Amino acid sequence: MPKIKTIEEINLMRPACRLAANTLVMIEPFIKAGVSTEYLNTLCHDYIVGHDAYPSPLNYHGFPKSVCTSVNHVICHGIPSDKKLKNGDIINVDVTVYLNGFHGDTSKTFYVGEPKVRAKKVTEVARKALQVGIDRVRPLATLGDIGHAIQSYVESEKCSVVRDYCGHGIGREFHEAPHVVHYGTAGEGMVLPIGLVFTIEPMVNLGSYKTKTLKDGWTVVTRDKSLSAQFEHTMVVTETGVEVLTLPDGKY
């Protein structure tokens, strides 16, 4: 069962969500050719810890780093390493922080230098797919409404939505109920209650939606090696619709 948040709990979540968003703002200028994903991980770790928070992925079920860095055909859970970024790459940086007893989760796909046409295509489709999903969030809407809207848009752009990974409830636990899939049928699934805090994070592939997990047990790639992009926000269902919590300072 989903854990509905009180106003007090939502207010406690706000700093965690805002810090996660600010981390993405902080790291963007460092995302350029010649920089390793391990260096990006170190910068994010130091920034999060420097704000009296903890990077939620670190040691989560054994994950070895503080953020996920997923480059090109890596869909999600990419492990930072000494491999350097190249001009034309795309990279998703997924940040979750733990602060005040609550988690805040967000991600963004960045361009490394000048994007190639196909890289820009999948990234912009993923960016809009997240917004399409957010636009469906309101009291009495269903999870199926969100998934259907995202799938319909993405497939209209001749891309595919990953089926094997999804959004999730979030709060005192990193991952809570419900599972928020990014495909489905309008009108089906759980009805959204006021006070539900969850993520929408569609993973969009240029080719097939089929996935493969590498031998490290974490890194998920497109089976056909097509490019993949993702954007993610944490949000709460309000009386009038939805409030996105993972906005950086100065954004409302």
What pLDDT digit, counting tens, does each position of 78-111 carry? Answer: 999 999 999 999 999 999 999 999 999 999 999 9
- pLDDT tier, 9 (very low <50, low <70, confident <90, very high otherwise): very high
Query: Which CATH number fits the domain that encloses residue 171?
Result: 3.90.230.10
Residue 56 lies in a domain: yes
Give the residue numbers spanning the domain of 141: 7-244
* Torsion, CA 37, CA 64, CA 75, CA 195, rounded to 10: -110
Whether residue 250 lies inside any domain: the answer is no
Please tell me the predicted confidence (pLDDT) of residue 252.
60
When pLDDT is averaged across residues 130-146 and rounded to a whole number, the result is: 98
Q: How far apart are CA 81 and CA 211, in angstroms?
A: 21
Predicted confidence (pLDDT) per residue in 158-175, tens digit: 999 999 999 999 999 999
Number of residues written out for the chain:
252
Q: Is 169 exposed, middle or buried (0-12, 13-18, 19+ CB in 10 A)?
A: buried
* Contact present, 230 and 204 (Cβ < 8 Å): yes
In a domain, 176, yes or no: yes
- The first and second tokens of residue 108, run together, are 């963004």
Asked if pLDDT for residue 251 goes beyond 80, the answer is no
Mean pLDDT of 150-161: 98
> How many structural domains compose the chain?
1
Write down the residue that tokens 């409404």 correspond to.
Answer: 145
**Spatial distance between the Cα atoms of 244 and 81, rounded to a whole number of angstroms:** 31
Residue 251 located in a structural domain: no
